[in-house]
Structure 1
Amino acid sequence: MKVAVWDTYVTRKDGKIMHFDILVDENTVDKDRIFEYGKIYLESVSQEGQSLTAKECRFCHIDKAPIEIENQIKENGFSIIEMENCN
């Protein structure tokens, strides 16, 4: 499966910038839906309510997904790769 990678930077409640990627099927193009996936993730790490719009989240590239990412996308519609300050 090829996935679209959305590079995302969100200001945490403590002021630090968290960096993560939202991965979706390459055919998922509805930005509002992708932002909603990011908000689901933010809620899961106690950062609900933080701004996540086109300012914080931008399409980066298309890539081939490893099987575990592919399975997450098939099950949830998206996958997250945590990069910086996500914990």
Structure 2
Amino acid sequence: MQVSVYDTYVTRTDGSVMHFDILVPSTSTSQATIHEYGQAYLSTKGQAGQPLTAKECRFCHIEQATQEIEASIASQGFHIIEMQGC
């Protein structure tokens, strides 16, 4: 499966920055849906309501998904790769 990777930077409530990637099937192009996925993830980190727009979340590239990523996408529609401050 080919996935689109969205490079995302969100300022936490304490002022530090979270950097994570949102991975979705390459056929998913709705920015609103991708931002909803990001907000769902932020909720799990106690950061619900933090701004997440095209400014914070940008398309980066397309890559081949691993089996783990495919399973995550199959169960919830997206996969998160935590990079920094998560």
TM-score between both structures, scaled by the size of structure 2: 0.99
Partner of 1:72: 72
**Number of residues paired by the alignment?**
86
Aligned-residue offset at 1:62 = 0.2
Cα deviations by residue, 1:52-83 (Å, 9 ceiling, x for unpaired)? 00000000000001101001001100000000
Partner of 1:22: 22
The answer to whether the aligner puts 1:11 opposite 2:11 as a matched pair is: yes
Alignment of 1:32-71 (within 5 A): 32-71=32-71
Distance in 2 of aligned mates of 1:71 and 1:2: 13
**Tell me, what secondary structure is at the counterpart of 1:50?**
coil
Gaps of 5+ in 2: none
Distance in 1 of aligned mates of 2:74 and 2:28: 12
- Aligned residues: CA RMSD: 0.4
Whichever residue aligns with residue 67 of structure 1, its letter is Q
* Percent of pairs with identical residues: 58
Whichever residue aligns with residue 9 of structure 2, its letter is Y
Partner of 2:2: 2
The answer to whether the aligner puts 1:82 opposite 2:78 as a matched pair is: no
